[in-house]
Amino acid sequence: MFSYRHAFHAGSPADVLKHAVLLHVADYLQRKEAPLLAVDTHAGAGAYSLRSDWARQGGESRQGVLHLLHWLGQGDNTRKAPALIRDYADVLKAFDAEVWERLRQDDPSLKPGADLTFYPGSPALLARLLARRPADRLRLFELHRNEAVALAEWTTTSPLPVHRQAMQAGDGFEGLISLLPPPERRALVVMDPSYEDKADYDRVIRSLRDALRRFATGVFVIWHPVLQRLDAQQLPERLQRLGRPWLHARMAVGQRRERGLVASGVFVINPPYTLEPALREALPVLSQVMQQDSQGSWELDVGG
């Protein structure tokens, strides 16, 4: 079993990009009345404390979400910020407040800090949105044993009723195929493996090829690191060749650092038409605010 734990990277610049995109896509899909199935193939622990030893060891939230929220709190930056950034920040603050409220029911002496403490992973973000509607469902997969235990614990606090939420400690690539096509006939899939196992690059392509064969109209959000490795560099081109409309957003916050990624991307298959203009407005701001060495940059391409 590989050593990857997402708590090391919770709230990183890569998380900011991935989750801001995910929230926009999920919100758009919920504008239609028809029920929606959301699937997270690599769900992690569900949610994270930025005060945990793991998160402090990585420290990536300080350059990521915490830095962004501090910037939003200065002057009239919140008012001027693009809607995609404001919406993301509002969800984070609401989630943090809800967790604190739940904790203070057991210990009223607890007091929230000045900074964000609890960060929602993709499962927690999706659960909050899906809870707004009575027929939407969430399916979660996590292969890492320790992460799966934490995820199961998180589901006990999820706002979704048990009959609308299910998690499985297993392979999300294989689990996804078993769910398609969904009875709802609408699906949002998040696929963000750690890529610690280099076979993940090929497995992403094989899984998506099979998924699109079964359900060509699903919306698929694929996160990936931007690295010098050949398989990492080739992944976006391979995704483009799957033959569906696509959008590819990439953001770099610097050229190098001792720990953590300086660049990552989100590839969306069958993206909503609102996503491109939202990102063209938000990406320049995100890359500039979180840049580490005056080398922040962004790219956005669409096709298919």
52 belongs to a structural domain:
yes
Distance CA(19)–CA(223), nearest Å, equals 10
| pLDDT for residue 5 | 72
How large is the average pLDDT for residues 135-164? 95
pLDDT tens for each residue of 175-223: 999 999 999 999 999 999 999 889 999 999 999 999 999 999 999 999 9
8 Å CB contact between 200 and 143? no
Cis previous bond, 225, omega within 30: no
List, by residue number, the catalytic residues: 192
**Distance of CA 1 to CAs 83, 197, 259, Å?**
40, 10, 22
Q: Which residue matches tokens 């050949």?
A: 230
Residue 67 domain flag: yes
Residue 14 above 90 pLDDT?
A: yes
Residue 59 falls within a domain, yes or no? yes
Domain carrying residue 143 = 6-303
Total domains, the chain: 1
* pLDDT tens, position by position, 264-282: 999 999 999 999 999 999 9
Is residue 1 one of the residues assigned to a domain? Answer: no
CA angle 8, 14, 15 (to 5 degrees): 70
Structural domain includes residue 259: yes
What's 49's domain CATH number?
3.40.50.150
User: Per residue in 22-75, pLDDT tens?
Assistant: 999 999 999 999 999 999 999 999 999 998 877 777 778 998 999 999 999 999
Question: CB within 8 A of 129, min separation 6: which ones?
Answer: 23, 26, 27, 30
CA-CA distance, 170 to 41, in Å (whole number)? Answer: 9
Q: Give the model's confidence band at 1: pLDDT under 50 very low, under 70 low, under 90 confident, else very high.
A: very low
User: Would you list the DSSP string of the chain?
Assistant: -----GGGGTT-HHHHHHHHHHHHHHHHHTTSSS--EEEESS-TTSEEETTSHHHHHH-TTTTTHHHHHHHHTSTTHHHHS-HHHHHHHHHHHHHHHHHHHHHHHH-TT----SS--EEE-HHHHHHHHHTTSSS-EEEEE--SHHHHHHHHHHHTT-SS-GGGEEEESS-HHHHHHHT-S-TTS-EEEEE-----STTHHHHHHHHHHHHHHH-TT-EEEEEEE--SSHHHHHHHHHHHTT-S-EEEEEEES-S--SSS-SEEEEEEES--TTHHHHHHHHHHHHHHHT-SSS--EEEEEEE-
Closest residue by Cα to residue 92 from 111, 64, 58, 53: 64
The amino acid at 75:
G
| Mean pLDDT on 91-104 | 93
211's tokens: 């998924």
